[in-house]
Structure 1
Amino acid sequence: MKKLFLCAALAVCSFASVNAQSFNGGLSAALPMGDAGDISSFGVNLDVNYLWEVSEEFNVGLAAGYHHYFGSEEEIPFFGTVEYDDFGFLPIGGAARFSASEKFIIGLDLGYAIGISPDGNDGGFYYAPKVQYAITESLDIVIAYKGISRDGGSFDALSLGVEFGL
């Protein structure tokens, strides 16, 4: 955890002299996949990022958010119904965005997702490749594959949402 905070502090100091910067917030719906799809039915993600312009096409910065996945129910013969807990994660990390054109942006968030709930959720390495389409100067549609590599598996989801320039 100390390494994460050190990396974040270095990133802030490294780009403090860059003039252009932006603060963005996003909201998306998520469809759990793989291991996560077995225990969760739906998710909601709230993400924020603060980006500095390195060049006209490339921005880097910090990203954070809260991701909540709702537990599902499963009917198991001879045992009855099993209800899975909701999962909550707090991803914190770095963000990079590349403007492929005036309308399309390719991005990647990397960091660590802290497990918030249920008890015993230790979190894991967080990655989120994404593609954004600019509707207006301050509104994008975002599709992302968000994954958390955890001990014994991964927690993956495909998300679709919007991002607002704040």
Structure 2
Amino acid sequence: MKKFYITALALILSVSAFAQTERSLEEIDQTNSWLKVGALIGAPSSAVGSYSSFVLGLDLAAQFLRTNNFGVGIATGYSKYFEKSEAPAYQGMNDGFGAIPLGLLLRFYPQPEGIFVGTDIGYTFLSGVTSVNTGGAYIRPMVGYHNYDWNVFAYYNHIFRPETTIDVQSVGLAITRNLRFN
């Protein structure tokens, strides 16, 4: 959990070093705010990889460009961790399980089109889990390519659960479409 907070703090401090003219929330329009809707596919890693064969999900976010290079917003979605055919019930997870994140979206865009970096930080609720701990804090760092309409990125997702259960980790690829506000 300590690594989670250190990573989040380092990202926020590094982004603040690129100070620019900020926009206020009253300036929201189609040039600086949009919905991101897309899909993701991934491979479970660490201990959950012995239980789950792959991850398939939907990605949804609302983003506001606070400056020309820095975006903030809210991220959510749904990811299904599919059970391996021969896997026994694992840590209270039967027939696969789902993950519903709710977090803060942070993105840095060095150029109007090209490479970007970012992370989502928040809490993930797990469905289909019978253990007492049905969620945990999460961080999802990413790097990818963006243009006016699309974002394609690679990500690492880590859901930090209490020590008595397993952390949920995965790596994958996602694509999202930018839907502009009118």
Equivalent residues of 1:73, 1:83 under 8 A apart: no
Q: Deviation digits for residues 1-52 of structure 1, max 9, x if unmatched?
A: xxxxxxxxxxxxxx63242211101201110000110111101121111011
Equivalent residues of 2:106, 2:118 under 8 A apart: yes
Aligned residue number for residue 149 of structure 2:
138
Aligned residue number for residue 173 of structure 2:
160
Structure 2, gaps ≥5 residues long: 1-23
Counterpart Cα distance in 1 of 2:54 and 2:127: 17
Counterpart Cα distance in 1 of 2:78 and 2:27: 28
Q: Count residues in correspondence.
A: 146
Equivalent residues of 1:72, 1:83 under 8 A apart: no
Q: Deviation digits for residues 76-125 of structure 1, max 9, x if unmatched?
A: xxxxx735520111100110110033211111100000111132251111
Equivalent residues of 2:51, 2:88 under 8 A apart: no
Aligned residue number for residue 116 of structure 2:
105
Equivalent residues of 1:64, 1:93 under 8 A apart: yes
> Is 1:56 matched with 2:62?
no
Higher strand share: 1
Post-superposition shift, 1:133? 0.7
Counterpart Cα distance in 1 of 2:38 and 2:148: 15
Report the TM-score when normalising by structure 1: 0.80
Counterpart Cα distance in 2 of 1:109 and 1:142: 13
RMSD: 1.9
Change (3 A) 1:36 1:156: same
Counterpart Cα distance in 1 of 2:89 and 2:138: 26
Structure 1, gaps ≥5 residues long: 1-14, 75-80
Q: Which runs of 4+ in 1 moved over 2 A?
A: 15-20, 81-85, 118-121
Give the aligned residue type for 1:159.
G
Q: Identify which of 23, 26, 39 aligns with 1:17.
A: 26
> Is 1:128 matched with 2:106?
no
Equivalent residues of 2:44, 2:170 under 8 A apart: yes
Q: Identify which of 92, 99, 104 aligns with 1:89.
A: 99
Equivalent residues of 2:73, 2:104 under 8 A apart: yes
Counterpart Cα distance in 2 of 1:62 and 1:92: 7
